[in-house]
Structure 1
């Protein structure tokens, strides 16, 4: 068994799993770490094999997988355009993506080599190598990586800027990371292909370098998404405060729905409840009496705000809803009812005793007057 045959046999499942992940949604793509290593290594291992034995079983299998990868990356130019538009909203300007067209052209030339018929392989190889060398080699990819880790002219890590600009919106950050990961994959595949075709086994150091960097990028992406998920209560409170500056608060369904819709749209994985009432009304006192069950000034599952026009807004939430224990709720209601009845009877009994004492005093005073 040749080295290539052995490698394909050992990594076949991992390659196919990595290719499959590329077709998943933004949420999965943004949270995945290390699953694309086999694909990147496959590019390196297979490139030479496609030249030396293009009709071989392994070459055909790897070509098929590359075609699947290409299908997943189809429309990458549209993704890049969306990335550019996103970055225009941030302090990161277009210079970070001045060379994305070069990265795409490198990738496309490599795909032409991969999918070429055997008799055209050598010609397509030379075209790819020439295109790669004439479009700054891996300088484009280096620049992209440096922007992600903050080693650029601004000194700001790209994902930190996106988090701030998107105000920790999970879905927006996931979409950005998914697009960025696809662009990164395009660049690395071109680098791997060039290194394998030009340097052969000597280029294995380059393979390791970009596998490590890819994992670093993925880890940073996952951390950015986790920042949105783990800190959504604090961000949601800031969002509501900002909404209150945009719209005057009122005790009516329309205003409550305005707040609720905004929260549900941005935090679609969370369940929300919004209540609005007059600060001095009966609802306020009922809420105040119930705060002992939540804590004071905000708790793990709610926060409250007082507006300038004395409206109290209470927002409660849960990201992990649980089914209600109806029996327990019924028992608790009955328990509270009995406690209330007991308190009423006790107050009534004490009032009777107090009234009796007053009447006794009055009777004594009245009797004394008659005797005199």
Structure 2
């Protein structure tokens, strides 16, 4: 059970939220942030949502619901994809793991109920699709860092299966007699793996991995990494005020797949190069809160959606009007001066057939 895991984590210095659903920190944020780049860390993401699609129509159904080419996926493959509404506005960025008999959807925190209900309304009597919310029955760990593969193969922990895992693929492995789904990818543009498995295995798997010398980090480090990388987050960058082209999620969109919810709007924006605002990283000279207006020559050109301090650096994410400029643009945000920077997770290239 997760409670056993929490007790183990607290012994390692974990600082948790009041309901103990999220680890805020292990008191090692600076070390953890740097180790995610040059060593390896483990982050408990069990507070994220997990949905399961079953039935013979599951691929076709998800294909018609989201932006990526889900029909092309084979068992053992995974893909990021975006749920959008009928006008192409963003609902959530998710990762789909296709197995022989299911699709597991890793969704953002507190979005599983919304997406469950959203999909359920589109299931018709003849559709062979089932949806389950299995969030409370599973644990989710993400291992991040340049040494992730080396550490996981240390002592042949998963029968050396990690070295055989190619990009955008996953497989089931055994860790200390526990069956674990391990997928290549971290939800960031950083090397590593995401593990999904029943919650009653969580304590054993966590103990096994941290005993290898993998450094535990909390959600505060994840937040630092996601802003530094540019991964958008619900109620901040992922809202129905924006579409995935504005958000920079071009890599999650198939322009050749045919019809899906919101497809016409997204296709038209690409065809006529009609993206009016874009999400950028922002390097700031001082702390400033999200929600502040971005101005250029005293005119509003955007809004700051996220901001955080990483050691002596202040960075954020902001939507800025395309006509105002792009990378390198100097702007004012509250009392701070900011410079737009490219971030690894996002791209802004129009698709050319």
What range describes the TM-score normalised by the shorter chain of this pair?
under 0.3
Higher relative contact order (CA 8 A, sep 6+): 2
Higher strand proportion: 2
Higher helix proportion: 1
TM-score between the two structures when normalised by the length of structure 2: 0.23
